[in-house]
Structure 1
Amino acid sequence: MNQLTGVTFQVRVSNFEEGQKWYETLFNRKADFIPHGNFAEWEVIPNTWLQVSEGVPSIGNGPLRIGVENIKEERLRLMEKLNCTIEEVNTREGVPAAWCTFEDPDGNLIGLFEDLAKTS
């Protein structure tokens, strides 16, 4: 196998304009690349892209988990800005991560995680 150079993950939204605004709020910025109508991309971290496309959402798709420095603060920010419910932050003994999951308006599963090994 050749060396891997990147990752893309695509979610479909039923209304592109609303979906694009939702993901702009999630990432706290505009899309990095809009190659054509009804398709936007964010480079989440170097060479890792989320593509948002208009189409029929795949229910239960994901979760796409996004690493954050402070999961509790980001969870509160997103609940306020996106006016949504996000489950409580989960941890498990022996697992050096905290995580929580929620849905975008089309049912795509999104999650946050915090690397607890970095903070201890």
Structure 2
Amino acid sequence: MDLRSRSENNLQVVSVHDPRIDAAVAIEFKDAMRASTDGGGDTVVLDLSEVQFIDSSGLGAIVAAMKHMGQSRTLALAGLTPTVDKVFRLTRMDSVFSVFPTLDGALEELNS
């Protein structure tokens, strides 16, 4: 699982550089997210623009990463591809997370 983390203004951006977050990589994703976000800023933006497929295990891994961050921190999602966006809408997880069409849009809105 290839995750890359960087700081941009007061935000931490974690970009997923893999086409899938599914049962085969869910535990690895969860561990990588924990390692990337521990000690990070109050707001983390998860860039999913390269992810073409997500299943229930992947969705659960993202929820687990959010819970691991704690209630005082926020996990926002950006750049959902149409297939991934559909999964979030069908499961109503789009009401749990702040979802932004693009990473640039998320950065602009969250920094204002």
Could you say which structure has the higher helix fraction?
Answer: 2
TM over 0.5: no
Q: Which TM-score applies when normalising by structure 2?
A: 0.30
Q: Which TM-score applies when normalising by structure 1?
A: 0.28
The structure with more radius of gyration: 1
